[in-house]
A and B are shown apart, each in its own frame.
Chain A
Amino acid sequence: MDARTNGEVAPTGNVTTVERRSDREVVVTRSFDAPVHLVFEAWSKPELFARWWVPRSMGMTLTSCEMDVRTGGRYRLGFDGVDFYGTYVEVTPPSRIVWTNEEGGTDGSVTTVTFTETDDTTLVVVSERYPSAEALDAEEGGATDAMHETFRQLDELLVELRSNR
């Protein structure tokens, strides 16, 4: 294990960090050299979002990108034969977007993105929380299994991304 999890430096000098905060939360942080309204715009306009969400280097194509970015709105991202979809649980421009990831079933993860501006720099914090405390309480290991499932799906996606390169 080396600098990989501590972040690599992008041309802008901003570092992406990934931290496993608890048994069901992974947090990604990154700063952007721009005011918050622009960063939020890039996350909330489908035509802009589609340009960066699936990095070119991964050689995978987003075939459709429908996003109704407002509280209660839905999204659906289509790849060849695989759809990712869910609901925007909360949208508070320009500081917060929360969405569900429902392609994995009812126990999908919830993604919370917060945007905080300081001196023309915007800190983006992405938290992916895997299934609920209720699921964990209801059935010991239930949440772990669901998280495992979610990880497995991500694994499959990443394997697919790699093999398509």
Chain B
Amino acid sequence: MVQYAAPQLDASFAALSDSTRRGVLEQLGHGEASISDLADRFDMTITGMRKHVGVLEAAGLVATEKIGRVRTCRIGDRRLEDVTAWIDQYHRLWDERFRELDQVIEELKQKETADGRTHER
């Protein structure tokens, strides 16, 4: 299993706490984009997007490179995989738990309804 460097992981999680930043990562997963592309896509100012990208870059999740007047963003080093692997596994555990819980609760509901009918008779 991945050996985490905890402080880096903390920065990564902080970076991922924002839905726009998660969206940016997802977008960059499909290919490189400039700051202005991303700003357009997420309907925000270039300044605002630059800040989000800055947070992601500080966490090592995104790398940027300025070519001429355009700053191009791409997915950073593999720490994203560490973070998403953990969150994915955690999410999957809870999601599967809750699907089973749905069934247990459904049975309780049916039982209660049946008991209620019996009671009314």
B67 lies within 8 A of chain A by Cβ = no
Q: Interface of chain B, helix or strand or loop or mixed? A: helix
A30 and B98 contact, Cβ closer than 8 Å, known pairs A4-B87, A38-B112? yes
Q: Interface of chain A, helix or strand or loop or mixed? A: mixed
* Contact with B99, one of A20, A55, A124 (Cβ below 8 angstroms): A55
Most-contacted residue by chain B among A33, A52, A141 (CB, 10 A): A52
Interface residues on A, range: 35 or more
B37 lies within 8 A of chain A by Cβ = no
Please, which residues of chain B bring their CB within 8 A of the CB of A106?
Answer: none
A-contacting residues, B30-86, CB 8 Å:
80, 84, 86
Number of interface residues of B (CB under 8 A): 41
A65 lies within 8 A of chain B by Cβ = no
| Least CB separation from B111: chain A residue | A38
A51 and B87 contact, Cβ closer than 8 Å, known pairs A19-B17, A20-B13, A152-B4? no
A interface list, Cβ under 8 A from B: 1-2, 4-8, 10-12, 14, 16, 18-23, 26, 28, 30, 32-34, 38-39, 41-42, 48, 51-58, 124, 126, 141, 144-145, 147-148, 151-152, 154-156, 158-159, 161
